[in-house]
Amino acid sequence: MSGEAILSLRDLRVWYGTEGDPVRAVDGVSLEIRSGETLGLVGESGCGKSTLGRGVLGLLPESAAVAGQVRFRGRDLVGVPPKEMRALRGPELGLIFQEPMTRLDPLMTIEGHFLETLEAHEPELDGAEMRRRSLESLAGMGIPPTRFKQYPHEFSGGMRQRIMIALALVLNPKLVIADEPTTALDVIVEAQILGILADLRESFDTALLLITHNLGIVAESCNRVAVMYAGQIVEEGEARQVFAQPAHPYTRELLRSTISLSTTGLHYIPGAPPNLIDPPPACRFHPRCPNAMRVCAERDPIEVALGPRATEAGAGSHPRDRVSCWLHGPGSEVPPGGTEPLKRGEIAIAEEA
């Protein structure tokens, strides 16, 4: 991994307009991704993961308001005109969609999809070169040239996903955002997709933001992990360290809910992610947290650095592991009595106060 961040988010906010109050889908997120690095973004559905990815790419509806910074290779993309963003998507910023069957045009052959992509971004290429580039990208995904003129419905789900990856990579983007790339795929195809993404990172020094619910995928294929809840990052760190010693109660509860061969009973997190139109005050996880204290319902948690991140030789300095939780907050910042446990019946009373 190179020492410089290829993507840097600073206090990114994406709010959707409604007839009433706005939906705070992404609310003050700061992250960094370096070339050759894979960052896993995990959390329950409705926590803002996909909105964050689309905010980076400028693929948001007109009702969305964006604030903060999205610096890609030193350039802030917030406020960039749509025409310039379209020029960046493909050659610089790639996207792998969650459901390939809904993204591939059923009336176009696979050849048509590739030619359309290359003509839009590299019109100077002749037909022979476009075909060569397309077949080379497909071959890297294990799709033979004999399938080039077929239609999407003639492929299995796993092959369609590999075609989507090939489409995203044919222009050699510097950053790829993969939104649930293995959803609804069997474990054999899932392993193939993860192997392809790993080869991509090693061969082309491509940065990858992997959005997923699958913690096993993150543990296997990501350098770092960021845990997102209710539009905010609650914990970030080196993947192996976070999984071995999770610092935030939400991270611990997610890991406890994972099913493995040794699972003897089903564990789940009580309740559901909050309504992002009117999220809970202070720590947004406190209504569901088994370790909630009175201070958690009264004051926003302070972000705490947990220690230096282990880096590869020559990788340079890197932001340290961090967590936003009063369990790790400085004692001097906690008001008197704030560390008293907050019982379930007291949560509503504390919020009203």
The DSSP result for 103-169, as a single string, is HS-TTS-HHHHHHHHHHHH-TTS-HHHHHHHHHHHHHHTT--GGGTT--GGGS-HHHHHHHHHHHHH
pTM of the full structure: 0.88
Q: So what's the architecture of 5-92+173-352 in CATH? A: 3-Layer(aba) Sandwich (3.40)
Instruction: Identify the pLDDT of residue 84.
Output: 93
Count CB-CB contacts under 10 A for residue 11.
11
- Quick one: tokens of 225? 């992990």
Instruction: Identify the pLDDT of residue 214.
Output: 85
C-alpha span between 217 and 225 (Å, rounded)? 11
Burial zone of 144 (CB within 10 Å; 0-12 exposed, 13-18 middle, 19+ buried) = exposed
Instruction: Identify the pLDDT of residue 76.
Output: 96
The pLDDT averaged over each successive group of 10 residues in the chain (353 residues) is: 83 93 95 94 94 94 94 94 92 85 89 95 94 93 93 90 89 91 76 80 86 88 95 96 94 91 86 94 96 93 74 43 87 55 54 45
Count CB-CB contacts under 10 A for residue 324.
23
- Residues 6+ positions from 119 with CB-CB distance below 8 Å: 125, 130
User: Taking a C-beta distance cutoff of 8 angstroms, is the pair 204, 293 a contact?
Assistant: no
Q: How far is CA 108 from the centre of its chain?
A: 30
**23 SS3 class:** strand
Instruction: Parse the chain into domains and list their residue ranges.
Output: 5-92+173-352, 106-170
